[in-house]
Amino acid sequence: MNKPKKLMEMTNQELWQLFPIILKEHDSDWEKQYQIESARIIDWVGAESIARISHIGSTAVPNLIAKPTIDILLELKSDARPADWLGKFENAGYIVLKKTENPPPHLLLMQGYTQAGFAGQAYHVHVRYFGDWDELYFRDYLYAHPNAALSYGELKRNLQRQFEHDRDGYTNAKGELIRKLTLQARQEFGPKYGKMKNS
């Protein structure tokens, strides 16, 4: 009998069948889950290496429909050494992905994915060095403009039906609206995330 493929051996098409686009109504427990997981991350990485840690994505926006994956932006100080603590994430069940297309240090950490499909709470930890990241502005804009969040939610519902088993297609189809609202956010809020706060 053939052994099931490991996740890293699967094609995108196989992964998309195993992990379809699922949307759920907003759950207030997502913020609690973020708080718990971010505390664990700070413990593993060390507060002295972290410039900022943030809850991003749709689970961070009240009343917004979302994939039930909690996205965390982990911003490192310039002297942080991921090799010192990545093993702690792996020991906790995270998959460590080297993503050369992502900003340095080119890492995405994922939990909640198994050979049998989703299991438990899914997390994506986007690891970057400190910066003025679009995701923070986009989140804040949706938080401040419920009508924009409603429009974004409706777009996601429509795209979920079209791209249930095509994550790239789903992500790409959201891109135009995300870029538009992020630009509006930067114009409205001004530069609010690019300067390091004094510790």
Asked whether the whole model's pTM tops 0.85, one would answer yes
Note the pLDDT of residue 2.
67
Amino acid found at 171: T
Question: Domain locations in the chain?
Answer: 12-189
Determine the pLDDT at residue 199.
45
How far apart are alpha carbons 82 and 72 in whole angstroms?
Answer: 16
| Three state DSSP letters for the chain | CCCCCCHHHCCHHHHHHHCCCCCECCCCHHHHHHHHHHHHHHHHHCHHHEEEEEEECHHHCCCCCECCEEEEEEEECCCCCHHHCHHHHHHCCCEEEECCCCCCCCEEEEEEEECCEEEEEEEEEEEEECCCCHHHHHHHHHHHCHHHHHHHHHHHHHHHHHCCCCHHHHHHHHHHHHHHHHHHHHHHHCCCCCCCCCC
Q: What average pLDDT does range 72-99 have in this prediction?
A: 96
pLDDT digits 0-9 by tens, 5-15:
888 888 888 88
Average pLDDT over residues 184-189: 97
34-45 pLDDT, tens digit each: 999 999 999 999
Q: Which two tokens stand for residue 127?
A: 């690891």
Q: What's residue 7's pLDDT?
A: 87
pLDDT-derived band at 195 (thresholds 50, 70, 90) equals confident
Give me the pLDDT at residue 1, please.
57
CATH number 3.30.460.10 is the correct assignment for the domain at 12-189: yes
Residue type (1 letter), 142 = L
Mean pLDDT of the chain: 94
pLDDT above 80 (res 3): no
